[in-house]
Structure 1
Amino acid sequence: MMRSTLTALTITLVASAGAFAGEAVKGDSAEVNGMRMYYEVSGSGDPIVVLHGAYMNIPTMGGIIPALAEHHKVYAIEFQGHGRTEDIDRPVTYPNLASDVAAFMDAVGLEKADVFGYSMGAAAGLRLAIDHPEKVDQLITASVSYDMEGAQPAFLEMIPTMVPEMFIGSPMEDAWKEYAPNPDGFRPFVERMIALEHEPLAWGEEVKALKSPVLIIAGDADMMTLEHLVSMFRLLGGGEPGDMGKPLGASRLAILPATSHTAVIDQVDLLMGFIEPFLKGETPKGMFDQ
Structure 2
Amino acid sequence: MKNATTAGYAPVNGLEMYYEIYGKGSLPLVLIHGGGSTIETTFGTMLPFLSGYGKLIAVELQAHGRTADRDTPESFEQDADDVAALLKHLKIKKANFFGFSNGGTTSMQIAIRYPGLVNKIINLSGAYRRDGFIDGFFDGFTGATLNSMPEPLQAAFLKVTPDKSRLQAMFERDVARMVNFKDIPDDLIRSIKAPALIMVSDQDVMPAEHAVKLSRLIPGGRLAVLPGAHGSCIGEMGMVTKGSRLPELTAALIEEFLNG
Provide the C-alpha distance between the structure 2 equivalents of 1:95 and 1:118, rounded to a whole number of angstroms.
Answer: 16
Q: Is the contact between residue 37 and residue 153 of structure 2 (CA under 8 Å) also seen in structure 1?
A: no
Report if aligned partners of 2:61, 2:67 keep a CA contact under 8 Å in 1: yes
2-side partners of 1:139 and 1:181: how far apart?
Answer: 33
2:60 is the counterpart of 1:81:
no
1:53-86 Cα deviation digits (max 9, x unpaired)? 1121112212322322322211111111112111
CA–CA distance in structure 2, aligned partners of residues 83 and 66 of structure 1: 21
Q: Output the aligned Cα RMSD.
A: 1.9
Instruction: Name the residue aligned to 1:202.
Output: 183
Q: Provide the residue aligned with 1:62 in structure 2.
A: 44
Deviates more, 1:263-272 or 1:208-217: 263-272
Which of the numbers 34, 39, 42 marks the counterpart of 1:53?
A: 34
Q: TM-score, normalised by structure 2?
A: 0.88
**Which of 198, 213, 218 is 2:200 aligned to?**
218
Query: Does the 8 A contact of 1:44 with 1:69 survive in 2?
Result: no
SS in 2 for 1:196: helix
Partner of 1:162: 144
The answer on 1:265 being equivalent to 2:234 is yes
The aligned counterpart of 2:224 is 254
**1:262 CA displacement:** 3.0
Counterpart AA for 2:172: E
**Match of 1:246?**
none
Unaligned runs of 5+ in 1: 1-19, 238-249, 282-290
Answer with 1 or 2: which has the greater Rg: 1
CA contact (8 A) 2:36 2:170 kept: no
State the 1:183 CA deviation: 4.3
Q: Residues 172 and 229 from structure 1, CA distance in 2 versus in 1: closer, same or farther, beyond 3 angstroms?
A: closer
Contact residue 63 and residue 169 of structure 2 kept, 8 A: no
Contact 2:9/2:16, CA 8 A, preserved across alignment: yes
Q: What is the CA distance between 1:27 and its match in structure 2?
A: 0.9
The size of the alignment, in residue pairs, is 247
Mapped to 2, the partners of 1:103 and 1:167 lie a distance apart of 30
Please give the alpha-carbon distance, in whole angstroms, between the structure 1 residues aligned to 2:163 and 2:11: 17
| 2:118 aligned with 1:136 | yes
Q: Secondary structure at the match of 1:184?
A: helix
Percent identical among aligned pairs is: 33
What is the identity, as a one-letter code, of the residue corresponding to 1:268?
Answer: P
Query: Which region of structure 1 is more displaced relative to structure 2, 68-77 or 111-120?
Result: 68-77
User: Does 1:25 pair with 2:2?
Assistant: no
